[in-house]
Amino acid sequence: MTAFLLRRLGQALLTIFGVATLIFFLQRLTGDPTYLLVPDTATQADIEALRHALGFDRPLWVQYLSFLGEIARFDLGRSVVQNVPVADIIASRLPYTLALAAGALLVACGIGIPVGVALALGRDRWTARILAGLVLAAQSMPTFWSGILMILVFAVTLGWLPPSSTGGIDHLVMPSVALGLLSMATFARVTRTALLEELSKDYVRTARARGAATGRLLLRHLARNASIPIITVAGLEISNLLAGAVIVETVFAWPGLGQLTVQSILARDFPIVQGVVLLGSFVTVALNLLTDLLYTVVDPRIRLGGAR
């Protein structure tokens, strides 16, 4: 177990180092932010002075080493555009992204898992067919479209919900649904498949032969056995939700990390993009590790790091 953890930790560090290097050089292929920071009529001297002040006049490898030095000290640098520590900016945006991811996950699991169960248990009924159609529709709608459609219906026409930005919990409803509906379909599908597989197993037939009710069966045995693939998907979906939030956050003017990333890429605010990408890779690596560990809790037969 310890050996396994150490190995995974090493891999994780290597992954993050690779991501850091990649994002550092990729961004620098996309142009010099100095040009975006000066007015239309800036003189050569203005541009040079600003470039020097921002440190972009140094050789690339010097900038790279200083960047690596900074991350080694857990320092993400300062925003080129706002001149505020990147860590402060990310910290101010993170709660919004987490709230949105939580809301979306709630929508995705809250609708997706029951729908998946209904699909599995009633797979031959017409209601299941309609449900399957709805799930497909929800998954097929691009969020930039479903988002603006929701705004037009629920905010502009009906006036039930605020159209954008933040405020109360009502501001969170539409972004959560827009984002959650995408993952909802995934949860429904995985739940259905997992349950169907379990339902076809011998122990279910035996239990049924002994007269066990479906509901009891579901809660006692099926739910637990079917939860392994669902947990795997949840782990993957959280990263997806964080990534998919880019569009939803822009449409709903939700001030999360996704919106920040898009704006920072457009403004070539390298330190912020680096910070967000590093955070994202860190979260993804950590979630993967956590998912692996959780398997052992749910299914004691799984032993990490054992002979495979």
Partner 1 sequence: MAHMLKPALLGAALTLVAALALSAPAAAKDRFVVDLVNEPSTLDPQLQWNPDSYYVYRNIFDNLVTRDDKGEFAPQIATAWKVLSDTQVEFEIRDGVTFHDGSTLTPEDVAFSVSRIIDPKLASPQQGQFDKIVKAEATGPHSVVLTLAGPYPALLAQLVKLSIVPKHVVEAVGNDAFNLKPVGSGPYKFDSWQRGVAVTLTRNDAYWGTKGPFATAVFRAVPDAATRLADIQAGSADLAVSLDSDLAGQLEASGKGKRLYTLTERLAYLRLNPTKPPFDDLRLRQAVAYAVDKEGITEGILGGLDKPIGQMLTPAHFGWFEDIPGLPYDPDKAKALVAEVGGSPKVEIATGAFFDQRVVQAIQQELADVGFDASIKLVDTPTFLKLIQQGAQGGPALAVSRSSCACQDADGALYQLFHSGNPWTIVENKELDGWLDDARATLDPDKRLTDYRKISTFIAKEIPVVPLFQTVAIYGAAKPLQWTPTPNESLFLNRMSWSE
Interactions with partner 1, residue window 116-155 (CB under 8 A)? 148, 151-152, 155
Q: What is the nearest approach in angstroms of partner 1 to the Cβ of residue 143?
A: 12
Q: Which stretch binds partner 1 (CB under 8 A): 6-14, 114-122, 210-218, 229-237?
A: 229-237
What is the spatial distance between Cα 196 and Cα 113, in angstroms, rounded to a whole number? 13
* Count of residues that bind partner 1 according to CB under 8 A: 73
What is the spatial distance between Cα 152 and Cα 159, in angstroms, rounded to a whole number? 9
In the region spanning residues 265 to 294, those forming contacts with partner 1, defined by CB under 8 A, are: 268, 290-291, 294
Q: Which residue has the tokens 């290097």?
A: 21
Q: Is 206 in the site for partner 1 (CB under 8 A)?
A: no
What is the spatial distance between Cα 135 and Cα 129, in angstroms, rounded to a whole number? 10
Q: What is the nearest approach in angstroms of partner 1 to the Cβ of residue 281?
A: 19
Q: Is 253 in the site for partner 1 (CB under 8 A)?
A: yes
Closest CB to partner 1 among residues 31, 122: 31
Q: Out of 40, 124, 210, 300, which residue is the one contacting partner 1 (CB under 8 A)? A: 40
Structure tokens at 258: 């996704």
Q: Which stretch binds partner 1 (CB under 8 A): 58-66, 129-137, 169-177, 273-281?
A: 169-177
What is the spatial distance between Cα 133 and Cα 76, in angstroms, rounded to a whole number? 46
Q: Is 98 in the site for partner 1 (CB under 8 A)?
A: yes
Q: Which stretch binds partner 1 (CB under 8 A): 114-122, 197-205, 211-219, 232-240?
A: 232-240
What is the spatial distance between Cα 73 and Cα 249, in angstroms, rounded to a whole number? 31
Those residues with Cβ within 8 angstroms of residue 217's Cβ, 6 or more apart along the chain or in another chain: 204, 207, 208
What is the spatial distance between Cα 298 and Cα 306, in angstroms, rounded to a whole number? 17
Those residues with Cβ within 8 angstroms of residue 7's Cβ, 6 or more apart along the chain or in another chain: 305
Determine contact, residues 27/270, Cβ cutoff 8 Å: yes
Q: Out of 53, 65, 213, 302, which residue is the one contacting partner 1 (CB under 8 A)? A: 53
Q: Which stretch binds partner 1 (CB under 8 A): 2-10, 28-36, 195-203, 216-224?
A: 28-36
